[in-house]
Structure 1
């Protein structure tokens, strides 16, 4: 996944949230996650080093509150926010666009998973009890182990290919040529069995 924040954008987002009220690091992480509708939640390894840098630059202060460290914006931090207000507005607009893009990707993935599940359920409903539509009635014991191994390999391959195709679709690099090559290659492999 490409970075959600461009260089310097997380810094301004943190300052903006601290301008509303002092918060501890976990609250900031959760608040960022809420801004992205849960589709992106930054790690502690991303947020805490940024907070330490903001503190070193005198833009925030930190105060121990029991086991938590509470961060608050300083006057210098507010001055930076004021000086970069237009940039902050653009970041917030970009966050809204990112949320829409992430949500569209999630919706597409869920839709594809639902279609696949419906197809699997329909196929199993048409098969005799205890047997899937593509499964022969009796598998000799000698071939059962090999069949299981192949089925696991096919399932793993399917998951990997779906993930790769989703990434390409999200980036806009999934072409008709790719789909055709994949379909033709799979059909050639099936015929070779």
Structure 2
């Protein structure tokens, strides 16, 4: 679930971002998305009214640079950020926890998908064999049919998981390297199980 800023938290976080460097509105939206691992991407309707309020309070100033409006923190804004450093640390810790939770959910989903695939493959290899085909049947044709089925299963699995991963990232979700590492390990183990079954 995307992190939700408590009352006043987003205001303080915007000030802290402007304390790092002057920014325009889109840059602030992108910075918020980046800092939260993509779990929170505010709209212009969320950011600009808060920037206007900060300007009214004398905490930021704005200048027009070509087609962009650049916001810069004032001395009063810096003083507020400094005086609320403890609050800011709490906000950042909460956002980090949210990013970790999203990553854990993705990792658990990938592991569950891998376990399900391995279980399906194990069940298929342990299933009793079908009655022997008539002697006139071509054993190579039967093998080619199983290869075709395996291709379909792999393509379906790849397309489904790929869609899940891309959709998660497109919605602003984080995808930790450890999740992909777990995926590679599970795929390697599954491939070895299939090769072993073919050798037996």
Does residue 30 in structure 1 map to residue 30 in structure 2? yes
CA deviation string 1:133-180 (max 9, x = no partner)? xxxxxxxxxxxxxxxxxxxxxxxxxxxxxxxxxxxxxxxxxxxxxxxx
Aligned positions, number: 133
Q: Is the 8 A contact 2:2 2:98 kept in 1?
A: no
1 or 2 for the larger relative contact order (CA 8 Å, sep ≥6)?
2
C-alpha distance 90-114 of structure 1, shift in aligned 2 (>3 A): same
C-alpha distance 3-39 of structure 1, shift in aligned 2 (>3 A): closer
Q: Is the 8 A contact 1:39 1:103 kept in 2?
A: no
CA deviation string 1:101-123 (max 9, x = no partner)? 12212322344455566778999
C-alpha distance 60-47 of structure 1, shift in aligned 2 (>3 A): same
Q: Which runs of 5+ in 1 are unaligned?
A: 132-193
- When the two chains are superposed, the root-mean-square deviation of aligned CA atoms in Å is 3.1
Partner of 2:70: 70
Instruction: Point out the structure with max Rg over C-alpha.
Output: 2
| TM-score, normalised relative to structure 2 | 0.55
| TM-score, normalised relative to structure 1 | 0.57
SS at match of 2:32: helix
Q: Is the 8 A contact 1:36 1:99 kept in 2?
A: yes
Between the aligned partners of 2:6 and 2:72, the Cα distance in structure 1 is 23
